[in-house]
Every structure is written in C-alpha cells, then in structure tokens.
Amino acid sequence: MEKILELKDVTFGYTSVPVLEDVNFEVERGDYMAIIGPNGAAKSTLMKIALGELTPWKGTVRLFGEDIRRFNDWGRVGYLSQYAAHINTAFPATVEEIVMTGMREWLRPIGGGKLHRRAENVLDMVGMGSVKHKLIGELSGGQRQRVFLARLLIGSPEIIFMDEPTTGVDAIAEAEFYELLDDTQKVYNLTIVMVSHDINAILKRATKVACVGNRKVHVHNTPDLTQEHLAEVFGYRIYDEE
C-alpha cells in the first residue's frame, strides 16, 4: 500500500522536556486511523508535527513521500483543528461563503462564479443544503461541524486530519457525524486521521488505532487492540467487554 504519511524516529518537545520520543507512525492510503489517548498525551501535537506546523527535534516527516519541510501540495490535505468548534461564532458570513473558502480555485482573486454549484452539492451531501444562506452563528454546534466537514470535502483532499471533530456536539449529532463520515469516506475515497475520545465509535469503524501516551505512539490494527493496550495508555480499563 502507498504510504501517505510517515514519521520516522520523531522526537519533539515544547520545552526542554520531550512530549513525544522516537515516534514511528505511518498512514497508508485508505486507512481510517484513530488517535486515542488521555488529555495531554500529545495527540494534537502528533497531528501538528505530521502537518509540519511543529518541527521535530529529530527524525523525519514525509507527507505523500515528500519531506514535510518541502511539501507544498496542500490541496491534497484537509485539516480541522481541535479549536474549530470555538471559532468566532458571531462572524458575519453565511454557510455558503464559509464552504467556498475550501476551494483553492475560489481563493484566486477573481472569477469562480461556477463554483457555487459545487458548494451546493457538497452542502447537500452533508445535509446542510437547506441552511446555506444562514449565518454561521445561527447554526447549532453539530450543524457547524458538518459545515466544516463540507469545507474540507469541497477541496477534494486525499487525506483529512481531524482533531476531536465532535467536541461540543451532543451524542445523537455525534453518532450522525460519524455515519456521515463513513459515507463520505466511501464517496470521496478518503484516508482519515482522527483524534477522538469516543472509543466505542472508533472501535466500530477505524481500521487502525494509534495509542498515544507516555511519550510513545503504538499503532494497532483495530481487531488486535486489547484492553491491555488501552490500560497501558489510559492507566485503566476503558470499555466493557461484551
């Protein structure tokens, strides 16, 4: 399988103390990679290193085979940060205006009148077609996350990184969001890397699970993941065996 993301012997810390040490981490095309671990384990940090926002002390990061320091093909990558849910909700822009920004063609200074059609299609796909002229601040948290997903999808990325995309969303909307993601993965043939605290939802669909804790990252195929693996990162048993 084609390796889309590859971290080799990566060590990184914000201060003189490393939060990740000698990490090896790979994502292949078609993977649905879940990143789990307790608060402060360095899940978001891992993602930011993968995206080149943080530069490791040592080790290499490759995205689509290219050294991350030279990588500039960002059209193939989508990223939704952990704080997207906390964005200024009083911002005076419509759902459609927000989604348009996800298209590189639209970010050119002029033109792009035909792109509205594409925005419409993607918004319909995530079930937000009927609110496209509403202000972003008038939506519920769950609806807003769908709009952000639409903004990612409209750029037709090959891999999407999502950091706790369902923060602040109720359980039903969360379940719907995961289902929507399943559908879109099929439609768009996506590779997904997602940080999540929802172990049950993850175990149902992720193909691989990366456990982050104690400065280490251990990747397991989901069926091979055991209570012991989880206990090791979380320090306690995390789900009930049926």
The piece of 37-45, 68-76, 117-125, 129-137 that touches ligand ATP (CB under 6 A) is 37-45
Q: Quick one: tokens of 218?
A: 């251990």
Task: Give whichever of 42 and 154 is closer to ligand ATP, judged by the CB atom.
Answer: 42
Binding of other proteins at residue 107 (CB under 8 A)?
A: yes
For ligand ATP, which residue of 2, 9, 40, 55 counts as binding (CB under 6 A)?
Answer: 40
135 binds, among other proteins, ligand ATP, Mg ion, none (CB under 5 to 8 A by kind): other proteins
102 binds, among Mg ion, other proteins, ligand ATP, none (CB under 5 to 8 A by kind): other proteins
Distance CA 228, CA 221 (A): 14
Binding of ligand ATP at residue 14 (CB under 6 A)?
A: yes
Backbone angles phi, psi at 209, to 5 degrees: -125, 125
Q: Quick one: tokens of 160?
A: 């999407």
Binding of other proteins at residue 108 (CB under 8 A)?
A: yes
- The 85-104 contact track toward other proteins, x by CB under 8 A, reads --xx-xxxxx--xx--xx-x
Binding of ligand ATP at residue 101 (CB under 6 A)?
A: no
For ligand ATP, which residue of 1, 16, 17, 39 counts as binding (CB under 6 A)?
Answer: 39
Task: Evaluate whether 216 touches 42 at the Cβ level (below 8 Å).
Answer: no
Which 154-173 residues touch other proteins, going by CB under 8 A? 155
- The 56-75 contact track toward ligand ATP, x by CB under 6 A, reads --------------------
**Residues found near ligand ATP in the complex (CB under 6 A):** 14, 19, 37, 39-45, 82
